[in-house]
Structure formats: structure tokens, C-alpha cells
Amino acid sequence: MLRQSFSGGVVIPNPHPVETVEIISAPLPDKVVLPLQQRIGDEAIPCVKVGDKVLTGQVIAKTEDHFCVPIHASISGKVVSIDEQIIPHKSGLKSKCIIIESDGKDQWVKYKGCGTDFLHCDRATMIEYIRSSGIVGLGGAGFPAHAKLEGIQDCHTLIINGTECEPGIMCDDALMQHHPQEIIRGVEILLHICGAQRAIIAVEDDKQEALNSLLMYCHNDRISIEQIPTKYTSGAEKLLIKMLLGIEIPSGRFAIDVGVVCQNVATTKAIFDAVVDNKPLISRIVTVTGSGIESPNNYEVRLGASFEHIVSMSNPNTNQHAIRMGGMMMGVDVETIHLPICKITNCIFVNNIEVKFSTQECIRCGQCNQACPVDLLPQQLYWHAKSGNTDKAMDYNLADCIECRCCDYVCPSHIPLAEYFSFAKALHRKTTEDQYRTDIARERFEFREYRLDRNKRERAEMMAAKKKELKKKMANDKTQKDKIAAAMARIKKTKKASDDA
Ligand code: SF4
Ligand code: SF4
């Protein structure tokens, strides 16, 4: 039962609903492009070269960086190039990628995990299977799952996030409907790893089919399934914890600080595959939707296949399109559909190009304040961000803004508020870093001055001590001289007496 709802948020109906949520298996792509730079950490180093034959699931690049996972070939075939390619990122920049041409055979490497009787496996072995299978957060974060699970202590509750992060995305709904058994078993694996007493799977109340499927396979007393209101941004981690457990996580703290671990449903299913079979993560489910698409759908597709590979299966119309990776609210606009699908590509929006509303002056209606799900005052933040007063914006908890764009969505003046906030955060970070660098430089200068002064003082003290020593020595020398002179005088006197005699 829900403990608490949250104020704010917006109800946005799925703009392109479908009758039945399916998963279509996309055909093997002719080639895949696999970026070596992952969401965080070092760029992976290839362990294959151009001309090498590779099997599906073979490790083709890795790094010693603990926050990285190995990169696997997602098809069998030949490495035809290792060079810079445009990757799906808002910067539009290029990054080094391994390109494999398919041999059409899809021949796999051999893999073996703990098996379905996984409870005999220890925690460390399970986490190593998760790392070596390349599992990262598939809900969009891309954070390596093994790094999140290692070192967990005092976890009382595991939350499995089955809410779609944004309206229009259907991949997790499809997964829950079609793979409920693997998800439930994945939850049991996570309970074993985290040592939590219970797990709650959160499903939005407009996903009745998904709920029914999960209920059918859930026979574990420690796992419950909760329906939560279909309201954007109920899937945000802190809000979900507040709704399900009534626990408010303070600013700057994380779920684990209050004894909770959250995982997305798709990550949970991938963890099941990793632990039971040690099966490398080489595909994912992607939703293709948008106003430029006749048949929105979900596709199970190999990583590294191009967006175009599945967009072409969704009957795009002949209009000019704007392409967006991720959701309609927090996704990223990209230039082209010739980009590789990555582990965090949960959705591709293909929209007809529309005339954008022009931005007007703020009319101080306060609607943005009501819509903010984390209880900020976007109207105030806007004024401070606009005037570049980032310190003041930070006083209004700018750092807690999750850039969900609920405020943008309701703003009658069409002000891109979240863009202002994102920019203000970056500016504040830079100013803080600059200030830090200035402070360090000033401290270095002050220390140098102090050091020179101290050297001067020590030198003067040393000279004074030497001088004193010398004087003392000279004084000693005078006594010695007197003694010698007296001895000489005595010798002289004795000699004279002897001569006179
Ligand atoms: S919703 Fe827009 S117009 Fe209204 S107060 Fe907020 S920023 Fe101003
Ligand atoms: S973008 Fe930030 S300020 Fe706007 S509603 Fe979301 S959390 Fe609140």
C-alpha cells in the first residue's frame, strides 16, 4: 500500500498508444558499431584488431577501470574497422568504435553461469557474473550494476522500478508482460545479493497486463507488487522511495544511505541472464514511437545496430523528422538516425517537424511551482538563473532540480526553464571550480611567502648562532694565546737563568 504520494508532477497521456504491447525480434543487422567509451569511466581498450573474426558475446574491448564493464561483440563476423564514429550523444561528437560486419551466422561464444539453482552461489561470484556479462543500468542511467551492488550493507528493502521513466516509452511494460518469470527470479537474485528482507516491484496503474503477468509468477512472500499512480515523474528514485516507504531522502544523500537499493526491471532481467547463464548483454528492447511513425512498437535489437534498422520497421511517413533519443521530456535531440543503439537507448522518438511556440515573458502565474515534483520554486530559480546569480539559485536548492521539465510542460509562456537550470548548474560548477582554483593559487602564494620569510628568519638565526660560536671560539683562542705566551715567557725566563748560572 502506498505510504505517501508526492506533490507536483504532471499527467501526460502516452501520445502514441498501441493496442497490444509486443516485442518484435529485429533481424540481425549487417553491421554493428560499438563505442569504446561507456557512460562513465575510461575508454575501453580493444582486444581485437581489424580483420579478426569474432563470435557473438566475445569480449572485444575492456579496461582496468573498476567502473567499466567489458564490451562484447553483439554479432558474429569480422572486425572491419576501429575508428572514430558519431555516437548517440547530445554533443554530436565522435568517439572510437569497433565496427563488425556480420557473417550472418550469429555464432556464440560458450557461456555458463550459476544455473537456475543460483542460491548456492555466493554473493561475490554473482557480482562477478554481472560485471563480466556487461550489465549496466538499462533504465537510462548506464551505471555499472556490479559497482552499485558491491559493498552494500544494511539494505532493508529492494525496490524494482517497473515504471516507464517517461510517457510514450513502452519497453519496460513489454518486458514485464513478456518476461515476468525472469524478472521475479532476477528479484530473488538481487535479494540474495543485497541481503534485503523484502522487495517491492513498482508498476504504474495503467499497466494492468504487466501487473497480471508478474502476479502470475510471484510466489515469494518477500516480494510484493505495488501499483503507483501514472504520473510523470513517479519513476524518479527518491520520489518512488517516498511513495512506497514514506522515507524522504535528504538533499545530497542517496537511496542506500537510507537502506534502500533500487534497480530497473530491465536491469533485473539482465541480471537474471548474467547470473544464471553468464550470458553477455548484447541486445536490448527499444521503443520506436513518435508522430512520424505509423506503427509504434518495441524491438529486441542487437546493440550497435543503427537507429535506422528499427525505425524502418515502424513505417515512418515521408515527412521531415526530428529524432530524439530517450523520452519526450528528458531525452536528447540527435541529428540523424544513423547512430548506433547503446545499452541506454530505451526509446527513439521520430517526430514530424513542427513549428515551435515562441517564448514569452514570465507572467508570474506560478503554475511551474505547482508542477515541480521535488518542491522547488522554478519561478524564483528562473529569475536567478536568468540573471546569472547562481549563488542565489543554489540558495533556492537548484542542485536538487532533476531537470524533469514538468515546469516547462505547464509554462504558458513556453519558457525552457529546465534548460536555464541545467546551464545555471554548469555555470555554478565552473564558478565553484574557478573559485577553488583561485583559492588554491592564493594558498600556494601565501605558503611561498611564508616559506621565504621562514627561510630568511632561519638563515638569520643560523648566522647569529654561527657568529656567537665564532666569537666564543675567538675568546677561547685568546685564552689559549695567553697560555702559550705565558709558557713561552716561562721558558725564556728559565733559559736566561740557566745562561746566567
Ligand atoms: S509557469 Fe512560466 S509564466 Fe508561469 S510563473 Fe512559471 S515561468 Fe512564469
Ligand atoms: S525541471 Fe527542476 S525545477 Fe522544473 S519541475 Fe523539474 S525538478 Fe522542478
Tell me whether residue 178 is in a domain. Answer: yes
- Answer whether residue 140 shows pLDDT above 80: no
**Looking at 283, 314, 345, which one is the last position of a domain?**
314
User: Of 314, 342, 370, which marks where a domain is finished?
Assistant: 314
Q: What is the pLDDT at residue 98?
A: 98
Q: How many CB atoms lie within 10 A of CB 354?
A: 8
Answer whether residue 220 is part of any domain: yes
421 CB under 6 A from ligand 2? yes
- Find out whether the peptide bond into 233 is cis, omega within 30 degrees of 0: yes
**Same domain? 365 vs 246:** no
**Ligand 1 atom 4: residue of nearest CA:** 365
- Residue 229 in grid coordinates: 499512480
The three-state DSSP-derived secondary structure of 134-170 is: CCECCCCCCCEHHHHHCCCCCCCEEEEECCCCCCCCC
Mean pLDDT, rounded, for 372-377: 94
Q: What is the pLDDT of residues 22-37, one digit of tens each?
A: 999 999 999 999 999 8
Residue 367 alpha carbon, nearest atom of ligand 1: 1
Which pLDDT value is given to residue 194? 95
What residues are paired with 227 via a beta bridge? 203
**Would you state the torsion angle of the CA atoms of residues 423, 429, 435, 440, taken in this order, to the nearest 10 degrees?**
-150
pLDDT of residue 430: 84
417 lines ligand 2 (CB under 6 A): yes
**Is 425's C-beta closer than 6 angstroms to any atom of ligand 2?**
no
d(Cα 76, Cα 79) in Å, to the nearest integer? 9
The residue type at 153:
Q
Domain identity same for 154 and 104 = yes
Q: Give residue 476's pLDDT.
A: 73
Within-domain flag for 112: yes
Q: Would you call 499 exposed, middle or buried from its count of C-beta atoms within 10 A (0-12, 13-18, 19+)?
A: exposed
Q: Which of 358, 361, 379, 407 to mutate to test the pocket of ligand 1 (most atoms within 8 A of CB)?
A: 379
CB–CB of 334/92 below 8 Å? yes
pLDDT for residue 3: 58
Q: Residue 1 pLDDT more than 80? A: no
Other residues' Cβ atoms within 10 Å of the Cβ of residue 130:
31
My answer on whether 147 and 206 are in the same domain is yes
How many Å lie between the centroid of ligand 2 and the Cα of residue 439?
A: 32
Ligand closest to Cα of 380 equals 1
Pocket lining: 415 vs ligand 2, CB cutoff 6 Å: no
Residue type, 9: G
- The number of angstroms, rounded, from the C-alpha of 257 to the middle of its chain's C-alpha atoms is 18
Q: Which ligand is nearest to the CA of 414?
A: 1
Ligand 2: which residue has its CA nearest to atom 4?
Answer: 407
pLDDT bracket for residue 70 (50, 70, 90): very high
Flag whether pLDDT at 7 surpasses 90.
no
In-domain check, residue 361? yes
Those residues whose C-beta lies under 8 Å from the C-beta of residue 52, and which sit 6 or more positions away, are: 78, 79
Q: Same domain for 274 and 159? A: yes
Contact 402, 232 (CB under 8 A): no
pLDDT at 139: 84
* 372 Cβ below 6 A of ligand 2: yes
Which structural domain range is residue 67 located in? 24-314
Contact present, 371 and 398 (Cβ < 8 Å): no
What's the pLDDT score for residue 256?
A: 92
State in Å: Cα 298 to ligand 1 middle. Answer: 36
**Cα(318)–Cα(338) distance, integer angstroms:** 17
Residue nearest (by alpha carbon) to ligand 2 atom 8: 372
Q: DSSP H helical segments within 161-303, as ranges?
A: 171-178, 180-194, 208-217, 237-245, 265-277
Interval between CA 9 and ligand 1 midpoint (Å): 15
**DSSP category for residue 466:** H
Q: Give residue 450's pLDDT.
A: 81
Position 233 in a domain: yes
What residue has cell string 522547488?
Answer: 376
Is 404 touching ligand 2 by the criterion CB < 6 Å?
yes
What's the mean per-residue pLDDT of the chain? Answer: 91
- Output the residue whose Cα is nearest ligand 2's atom 3: 378
Structure confidence at residue 478 (pLDDT): 66
**Is the CB–ligand 2 distance for residue 241 below 6 Å?**
no
Q: Is 332 in the pocket of ligand 1 (CB under 6 A)?
A: no
Instruction: Give the strand pairing for 157-161 and 260-264.
Output: parallel
The verdict on 296 and 423 lying in the same domain is: no
Q: What CATH number is associated with residue 261?
A: 3.40.50.11540
First to last CA, the chain: 133
Q: Does any domain span residue 345?
A: no
User: Which atom of ligand 1 approaches the CA of 407 most closely?
Assistant: 1
Report pLDDT digits (tens) over 71-113.
999 999 999 999 999 888 776 778 899 999 999 999 999 999 9
- 39, amino acid identity: R
Query: 204 CA distance to ligand 2 centroid (A)?
Result: 21
pLDDT tens column, 209-257: 999 999 999 999 999 999 999 999 888 999 999 999 999 998 889 999 9
**Residue 381, ligand 1, Cβ within 6 A:** no
Residues 368 and 308 occupy one common structural domain? no
Asked if the model's pLDDT at residue 484 lies above 90, the reply is no
Closest residue by Cα to atom 8, ligand 1, is 362
Q: 172: left (phi > 0), else alpha (psi -120 to 50), else beta?
A: alpha
In a domain, 64, yes or no: yes
Say how far apart CA 154 and CA 499 lie, in whole Å. 109
Distance (angstroms) between ligand 2 centre and the Cα of 445 equals: 42
Percent of the chain clearing pLDDT 70 (strictly above): 98
Q: Is the domain of 369 the same as that of 283?
A: no
Cβ-contact 198, 222 below 8 angstroms:
yes
Shared domain check, 430 and 307: no
User: How far apart are the C-alpha atoms of 65 and 48, rounded to whole Å?
Assistant: 19
Q: Are residues 225 and 363 in the same domain?
A: no
426 lines ligand 1 (CB under 6 A): no
Q: Could you tell me the pTM of the whole model?
A: 0.83
Q: Is residue 180 part of a domain?
A: yes
**Nearest ligand 2 atom, CA 8:** 5
Tens-place pLDDT, residues 350-369: 999 988 889 999 999 999 99
At residue 137, what is the residue type? G
Ligand 2 pocket residue status of 424, Cβ below 6 Å: no
Domain boundary among the residues 280, 296, 314 is at: 314
Q: Are 376 and 418 in contact (CB under 8 A)?
A: no
390 and 293 both lie in a single domain: no
pLDDT at 452 over 90: no
| CA distance linking residue 281 with residue 58, whole number of Å | 11
Residue 356's H or E segment, with its range, is none
**164 touches 60 (CB < 8 A):** no
| Ligand 1 geometric centre to CA of 387 (Å) | 16
Instruction: Supply the residue whose CA is at minimum distance from atom 6 of ligand 2.
Output: 404
Specify whether 283 is located in the same domain as 386.
no
Show the CA angle centred on residue 419, arms to residues 414 and 422, nearest 5°. 155
Same domain, 392 and 250: no
Work out how many domains the chain is built from and give that number.
Answer: 2
